[in-house]
């Protein structure tokens, strides 16, 4: 039986994708050696599964349905530029989210708990929601990148509404990952 590489996430509204693309263009201008995530591939991860069996999709879909029925659409503010492990030594460049503790965290915990009860292993680190913009590949242009990130640190791209969750298949290709929606559940509770 073929395995599927999968993750559960919230898609970003088109308007936010456009604002993120503009920010990436400003950051790209420093010429640093960064593999930028295509704006249309940026998503808000709730759970990364790795490889799952085909029959596990139905279990995940049922858990998604239950979670989505308990929550209504909510808004998150997309602001503040950061990096892992630190802004002075960036490896992963990300955008922060504000207001996530009220709605996103309970949703993520609900899903995580239900998945764990269904036999999926829990995450081994605390949930830290962010939007990954790019990954630094080498030290080339690092100083310019660090300086530009410091200037953009308090960037505010405004609010976005999260109103659904999506189970994505992730196929890794030389040109970058290809994400295919497998199951979509719109929020109907609240």
Catalytic (active site) residue 98: no
Classify residue 132 as exposed, middle or buried by CB count within 10 Å of its CB (0-12, 13-18, 19+): middle
- Dihedral sign from CA coordinates of 13, 11, 23, 176: negative
From the candidates 130, 133, 157, 187, which is the catalytic residue? 130
Q: According to the 3-state scheme, what is the secondary structure of 125-153?
A: CCCCCCEEEEEECCCCCHHHHHHHHHHHC
Catalytic entry in 19, 43, 47, 185: 43
Edge to edge, what strands does the sheet with 34-36 contain?
Answer: 34-36, 131-136, 89-98, 74-86, 156-162
Q: Any idea what DSSP says for residue 124?
A: S
Catalogue the active-site residues: 43, 130
């Amino acid at each position: 039986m073929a395995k599927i590489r999968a993750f559960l996430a919230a898609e970003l509204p088109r308007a936010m994708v456009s604002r993120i693309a503009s920010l990436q263009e400003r950051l790209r201008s420093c010429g640093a050696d960064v593999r930028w995530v295509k704006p249309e591939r940026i998503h808000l991860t709730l759970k990364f599964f790795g490889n799952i069996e085909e029959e596990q999709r139905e279990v995940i879909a049922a858990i998604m349905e239950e979670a989505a029925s308990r929550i209504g659409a909510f808004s998150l503010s997309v602001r503040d530029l950061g990096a892992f492990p630190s802004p002075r030594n960036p490896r992963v460049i990300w955008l922060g989210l504000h207001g996530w503790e009220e709605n996103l965290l309970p949703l993520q915990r609900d899903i995580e708990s239900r998945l764990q009860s269904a036999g999926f292993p829990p995450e081994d680190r605390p949930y830290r929601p962010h939007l990954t913009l790019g990954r630094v590949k080498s030290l080339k242009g690092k100083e310019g990148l660090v300086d530009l990130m410091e200037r953009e640190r308090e960037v505010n791209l405004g609010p976005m509404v999260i109103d659904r969750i999506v189970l994505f298949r992730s196929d890794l290709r030389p040109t970058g990952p290809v994400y295919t929606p497998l199951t979509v559940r719109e929020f109907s509770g609240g």
